[in-house]
Amino acid sequence: MKRIFAAIKIFPDENFLKLYYRLKSGLKHEKIKWVETENIHITLKFFGETEETKINSIINVFNKVTEDFKSFDPELENVGIFGSSYKPKVIWFGIKNNEQLINLSNSVNENLIPVGYISDRQNFVPHLTVARIKFLNDKRLFRQIIDKNKTIKIQKIKVDKIYLFESILKREGPIYNVIEEFPLK
């Protein structure tokens, strides 16, 4: 069994890193697990523990899906949270002009049905998880820092590949190994 997921890898630029480290520094007194910058990505499909015999079927689906999509350049912008303002769970960066990304996600989900992966009922909300919140000591300060960066341009990204990753969970954090790359047209 391998724990796998399909994603679009993000290569942070200087502006992205400035914002990331500014948030991390401003919230250093809180119990927050920050995603390592080399692991930041947009998840298209999380498969979880998967039998190795199914991986070839998944690879075939992504080879088929990527034939129909050209590369595109969405913009990362805005900082937000998942969870309530009383109990936030995740800090994320948003994605502007994400129609192509939503279409890509829908195509992935539709094409995975015949190989046994039923789409979950949640709508795809394109985002980058940058941190997971364990506990907040000062919710007011946290809210101020998030609100200050709520509407901000972050970085233009190039989406020209989908990656199938194996996620190996370690005490220090996950290690993502590329199983396969799928270039867009």
Catalytic residues: 41, 127
Q: Buried (b) or exposed (e) across 16-28, using 16+ Cβ within 10 A?
A: beebbeebeebbe
What are the φ and ψ backbone dihedral angles of 142, each rounded to 5 degrees?
-55, -50
Length of the chain: 185
Query: At a CB cut-off of 8 Å and minimum separation 6, what does 46 contact?
Result: 5
For residue 96, give the H/E element and its range: strand 88-96
Residue 57, beta-bridge partner list: none
What is the Cα 159 distance to its own chain's centre? Answer: 13
